[in-house]
Chain A
Amino acid sequence: METAPKPGRGVPPKKDNPQAKKKKPRRYWEEEATPVAAPAGPPRKKARAREPRPPRSKGVRGAPKSRFGRKPQAPKNASDRKKPRRTLSGAQDPFPGPAPAPAEVARKFCRIDKSKKLPRSKPKTRTKLETAEAQEEEASVRAARAELLLAEEPGFLEGEDGEDTAKILQTDIVEAVDIASAAKHFDLNLRQFGPYRLNYSRTGRHLALGGRRGHVAALDWVTKKLMCEINVMEAVRDIQSVFPLLAVDGRGSADPNWNRWLYIYDNQGIELHCIRRCDRVTRLEFLPFHFLLATASETGFLTYLDVSVGKIVTALNARAGRLSVMAQNPYNAVVHLGHSNGTVSLWSPAMKEPLAKILCHRGAVRAVAVDSTGTYMATSGLDHQLKIFDLRGTFQPLSARTLPQGAGHLAFSQRGLLVAGMGDVVNIWAGPGKASPPSLEQPYLTHRLSGHVHGLQFCPFEDVLGVGHSGGMTSMLVPGSAEPNFDGLENNPYRSRKQRQEWEVKALLEKVPAELICLDPRALAEVDVVTLEQQKKERIERLGYDPDAKAAFQPKAKQKGRSSTASLVKRKKKVMDQEHRDKVRQSLEGQQQQRQKQKTAKPTGARPSALDRFVR
Chain B
Amino acid sequence: MKVKMLSRNPDNYVRETKLDIQRVPRNYDPTLHPFEVPREYVRALNATKLERVFAKPFLASLDGHRDGVNCLAKHPKSLTTVGDDKTVKQWKMDGPGCGEEEEPLQTILGKTVSTGIDHHWKDPIFATCGQQVDIWDEQRTSPVCSMNWGFDSVCSVKFNPIETFILGSCASDRNIVLYDMRQATPLKKVILDMRTNTICWNPMEAFHFTAANEDYNLYTFDMRALDTPVQVHMDHVSAVLDVDYSPTGKEFVSASFDKSIRIFPVERSRSREVYHTKRMQHVICVKWTSDSKYIMCGSDEMNIRLWKANASEKLGVLTSREKAANDYNQKLKEKFQYHPHVKRIARHRHLPKSIYSQIQEQRIMKESRRRKEMNRRKHSKPGSVPVVSERKKHVVAVVK
Taking Cβ atoms with an 8 Å cutoff, the residues of A that contact B are 108-109, 111, 143, 146, 150-160, 163, 165, 168, 172-173, 176-178, 180-181, 184, 289, 330-331, 333, 372-373, 462-463, 477, 479-480, 482-490, 492-494, 496, 499, 509-513, 516, 521-525
Contact = CB atoms under 8 A, between A and B. Distances in A.
A172 B4 CA distance: 13
Given A486-B32, A510-B42, 10 more contacts: A146-B28, A168-B1, A173-B3, A177-B3, A178-B5, A178-B7, A180-B7, A479-B5, A488-B24, A512-B41
Contacts of B2: 156-158, 160
B155 to A, nearest CB: 37
B251 to A, nearest CB: 19
10 contacts: A111-B36, A155-B6, A172-B1, A479-B5, A479-B6, A486-B25, A492-B24, A494-B23, A512-B38, A522-B37
B375 to A, nearest CB: 12
A573 B34 CA distance: 61
A350 to B, nearest CB: 12
Given A490-B32, A521-B34, A165 B26 contact: no
Interface in B22-71: 22-39, 41-43, 46
B281 to A, nearest CB: 41
A477 B5 contact: yes
Chain A CB count within 10 A is highest, among B3, B23, B33, B39, for: B3
Nearest to A495: B22
A109 B28 contact: yes
Q: How large is the interface on B (under 10, 10 to 19, 20 to 34, 35 or more residues)?
A: 35 or more
B9 to A, nearest CB: 9
A482 B4 CA distance: 12
A331 B7 CA distance: 27
Contacts of B5: 155, 173, 177-178, 181, 184, 463, 477, 479
B27 A486 contact: yes
B14 interface: yes
Contacts, number: 132
Nearest to A517: B38
Nearest to A172: B1
Contact of A154 (B6, B25, B33, B336): B6
Contacts of A522: 36-37
Contacts of B356: none
A578 to B, nearest CB: 9
A494 B12 CA distance: 10
A524 B339 contact: yes
A512 B42 contact: yes
Contact of B1 (A163, A373, A484): A163
Contacts of B41: 512, 516, 524
Contact of B24 (A482, A489, A510): A489
Contacts of B4: 153, 155-157, 177, 479
A158 B2 CA distance: 5
Contacts of A480: 6
Given A289-B39, A513-B42, A525-B37, A157 B3 contact: yes
Contacts of B36: 111, 522
Given A155-B6, A331-B34, A510-B39, A485 B27 contact: yes
B34 to A, nearest CB: 6
B28 A158 contact: no
B328 interface: no
Given A151-B12, A168-B1, A494-B14, A463 B38 contact: no
B86 to A, nearest CB: 49
Contact of B42 (A373, A463, A499, A511): A511
**Minimum-distance CB pairs A-B, first 5:** A488-B24, A181-B5, A494-B13, A512-B38, A155-B6
B31 A373 contact: yes
A109 B29 CA distance: 7
B302 to A, nearest CB: 46
Contacts of B12: 151
A479 B23 contact: no
A157 B1 contact: yes
Contact of A524 (B25, B28, B37, B43): B37
**How would you classify the secondary structure of chain B's contact residues: helix, strand, loop or mixed?**
loop
B344 to A, nearest CB: 16
A511 B28 CA distance: 21
Contacts of B29: 108-109, 485, 487
B10 interface: yes
B11 to A, nearest CB: 10
B350 interface: no
A480 B38 CA distance: 31
Nearest to B32: A487
A389 B41 CA distance: 31
Interface string B105-149: 000000000000000000000000000000000000000000000
A510 B27 contact: no
A489 B23 CA distance: 10
A354 B33 CA distance: 26
B8 interface: yes
A168 B2 CA distance: 11
B6 A111 contact: no
B7 A496 contact: no
Contacts of A487: 25-29, 32-33
Nearest to A521: B35
A152 B38 contact: no
A521 B38 contact: yes
B221 to A, nearest CB: 22
A163 B3 CA distance: 13
Contacts of A511: 42
Contact of B37 (A154, A178, A521): A521
Contact of A333 (B23, B28, B35, B336): B35
Contacts of A111: 30, 36
Contacts of B39: 289, 510, 512
Contacts of B31: 372-373
B152 to A, nearest CB: 41
A141 to B, nearest CB: 13
A601 B46 CA distance: 51
A238 B30 CA distance: 31
A462 B46 CA distance: 35
A490 B31 CA distance: 11
A479 B36 CA distance: 30
Contacts of A463: 5-6
Nearest to A142: B28
Nearest to B378: A578
A488 B29 CA distance: 12
A172 B1 CA distance: 9
B82 to A, nearest CB: 42
Contact of A152 (B8, B28, B46): B8
A289 B25 contact: no
Contacts of B6: 152-155, 181, 462-463, 479-480, 482, 484
A150 B28 CA distance: 10
Contacts of A159: 1
Contacts of B35: 289, 333, 512, 521
Contacts of B1: 157-160, 163, 165, 168, 172, 176
Contacts of A146: 28
Contacts of A484: 6
A487 B24 CA distance: 8
B298 to A, nearest CB: 38
Contacts of A158: 1-3
B30 A108 contact: yes
Contacts of B14: 494
Contacts of A172: 1
Contacts of B13: 493-494
Nearest to B338: A528
Contacts of A373: 31
A158 B3 CA distance: 6
Given A479-B4, A494-B14, A512-B42, A488 B37 contact: no
B1 to A, nearest CB: 5
Contact of A516 (B34, B38, B336): B38
A257 B163 CA distance: 91
